[in-house]
Chain A
């Protein structure tokens, strides 16, 4: 049977992708960000999964205001890199895992979570920046990501966005779905976005490092209680775009009930407008 071996959490700031793509990653400003992922790249090489289930949000690229799915699972064989207006990032295309994705969709929908099934979806920086941080720079034509990826997009752009509680419970349903898949696949689940940041209005540039670090502590030790935090607390304390952090609760909910092993923890301010947080948790 398939099983979830570990979860990875990371911010997905677009400027991080741009820094890597433009070869600025050795500049002191960016070196401080990338240094936090040196261990992680080695860890991923040593703990390569068969599939990554990657929770992220689309930033008005695959989805406009025409259709706004709360939870969208990518079931296609492959996903093109989105042109977000600056041209597509020069990274390998994303190979999906249609069989496992369809199995998870069936299991989770019958477990009362109404996913939207998506067969055509360009993936934006929300998905590709975490892959780049964990894999390093890759050639778009000659290289490939280390394994298939199932994109799972969450609406955190237009309100209402899903609650932390619902995200955590959805994670549990995904855990159950993976565990009932026949092939013995090792699956990692990644939760991305955050940490504190605000991209708009006179409060743009807000950072709350204390709140972020408390979030990391609680995500490790008491995720179910953390999942009860209402939206307004994220907005007020971590900025309007800090709401992305609810997506980390999906990944955390998919982990076993036992306390996980913390393999890596990193926090840094800033990357562009944003506080960068990063965790690697292994199922004990």
Chain B
């Protein structure tokens, strides 16, 4: 019997389940290694060389190098592990979370101050809320994508 996954119809959301965890095992363990100051220094000195010490997929390595957290999530990363990359870069959770939406830091912060992202239209795939696939990316990146 396959794993039961009732959460696959939630838009804009990756649940860190056993399958994602298997896929992202080395990506996440690489992130854990950044809790040590000497590893952070080695990573910063030569990111590619440090990543090559880990049995990660090329796509995972590219996602880390590009700091593309959505791609890191898709390939098995978990936000609490990925946060160690953010800490290495001096980024807060708000900056990291915001980076996954396409909004600028200011746009995302403003959204939060105004009460956060609305649940309306964002419960199920196929609705029309701002987290739905057809409305990505949001904010400044979305305007660039549309040529506005």
Contact = CB atoms under 8 A, between A and B. Distances in A.
A39 interface: no
A209 B108 CA distance: 18
Given A201-B100, A202-B12, A235-B7, A60 B18 contact: no
A204 B87 contact: no
Among B21, B31, B93, B98, max chain A CB count under 10 A is at: B93
B119 A85 contact: no
A269 interface: yes
A85 B83 contact: yes
A202 B136 contact: yes
Nearest to B88: A85
B80 to A, nearest CB: 4
Interface stretch (B45-53, B60-68, B110-118): B110-118
A60 B80 contact: yes
B29 A65 contact: yes
Contact of A275 (B86, B116, B136): B116
Interface in A32-89: 59-61, 64-66, 83-86
Contacts of A230: 6
Contacts of B132: 202
Contacts of B31: 60
Interface in A210-239: 211, 230-232, 235-237
A120 interface: no
A19 to B, nearest CB: 11
Among A14, A201, A209, A236, max chain B CB count under 10 A is at: A201
A226 to B, nearest CB: 19
Given A157-B80, A275-B116, A15 B100 contact: no
Contacts of A275: 116
Interface string B85-97: 0111000111011
A208 interface: yes
A283 interface: no
A23 to B, nearest CB: 16
A269 B115 contact: yes
B73 A85 contact: no
Given A14-B93, A15-B94, A207 B10 contact: no
Interface residues of B, number: 59
Interface in B1-29: 6-7, 10-18, 21, 25, 28-29
A230 B123 CA distance: 15
A203 B115 contact: no
Nearest to A86: B87
Among B17, B80, B111, B115, max chain A CB count under 10 A is at: B80
Among B25, B88, B131, max chain A CB count under 10 A is at: B131
A206 interface: yes
Nearest to B103: A205
Contacts of B6: 230-232
Interface in A183-197: 196
A60 B122 contact: no
Contacts of B93: 14-15, 199, 272-273
Contacts of A232: 6-7
Contact of B100 (A29, A158, A200, A207): A200
B90 to A, nearest CB: 8
Contact of B28 (A65, A84, A236, A240): A65
Given A84-B35, A207-B118, A209-B115, 13 more contacts: A60-B28, A60-B31, A60-B83, A84-B84, A158-B21, A160-B17, A202-B12, A202-B131, A203-B131, A235-B7, A236-B7, A269-B115, A270-B115
Give 4 closest A-B pairs by Cβ, nearest first.
Answer: A207-B116, A85-B87, A203-B12, A202-B12
Interface of B: 6-7, 10-18, 21, 25, 28-29, 31-32, 34-35, 40, 69-70, 73, 78-81, 83-84, 86-88, 92-94, 96-98, 100-102, 108, 111-113, 115-119, 122-124, 131-133, 136-138
